Amino acid sequence: MNVDEVASSIKRMEIRGAGLIARSAAEALKHAAQEYRGDDVAALRQKLEKSRRTLVESRPTAISLWNAVQATMRGAQDAASVEELRDIVSSNADRFIERSSRAVETIGKFGAKRLKDGMRVMTHCNSKAALSVIKTAHANGLDIEVYATESRPWRQGLLTVKDLSDAGVPCTLIIDSAMRWAMKDVDAVFVGADTICSNGALINKIGTSQMAMAASDSRVPFMVCAETYKFSPRTLSGEMVEIEERDASEVVDPNLLPPGVRIRNPVFDATPPEYIDSLITEVGVISPYAAYEVIVREFGQTSIFEDMED
Ligand code: RI2
> Which residues does the annotation mark as catalytic?
125, 194
Distance CA 72, CA 75 (A): 9
Answer for the pair 103, 182: CB distance below 8 angstroms, yes or no.
Answer: no
pTM score, whole prediction? 0.96
- Distance from the alpha carbon of residue 193 to the mean position of ligand 1, in angstroms: 6
27 Cβ closer than 6 Å to some ligand 1 atom: no
281: left (phi over 0), alpha (psi -120 to 50) or beta: beta
Render each residue's pLDDT in the chain as its tens digit; 310 residues.
999 999 999 999 999 999 999 999 999 999 999 999 999 999 999 999 999 999 999 999 999 999 999 999 999 999 999 999 999 999 999 999 999 999 999 999 999 999 999 999 999 999 999 999 999 999 999 999 999 999 999 999 999 999 999 999 999 999 999 999 999 999 999 999 999 999 999 999 999 999 999 999 999 999 999 999 999 999 999 999 999 999 999 999 999 999 999 999 999 999 999 999 999 999 999 999 999 999 999 998 765 566 555 5
CATH no. for residue 293?
3.40.50.10470
Same domain, yes or no: 68 and 193: no
Same domain, yes or no: 78 and 123: no
- Distance from the alpha carbon of residue 62 to the mean position of ligand 1, in angstroms: 8
129 Cβ closer than 6 Å to some ligand 1 atom: yes
171 Cβ closer than 6 Å to some ligand 1 atom: no
Half-sphere exposure of 306 (CA within 13 A, CB side): 8
Same domain, yes or no: 152 and 275: yes
- Distance from the alpha carbon of residue 299 to the mean position of ligand 1, in angstroms: 22
User: 105, 122, 156: which is the final residue of a domain?
Assistant: 105
Same domain, yes or no: 141 and 281: yes
Structural domain harbouring 78? 3-105
Distance CA 18, CA 268 (A): 12
Residue with CA closest to ligand 1 atom 9: 17
Q: How far is CA 191 from CA 21, 142, 202, 207, 257, in A?
A: 17, 19, 10, 11, 33
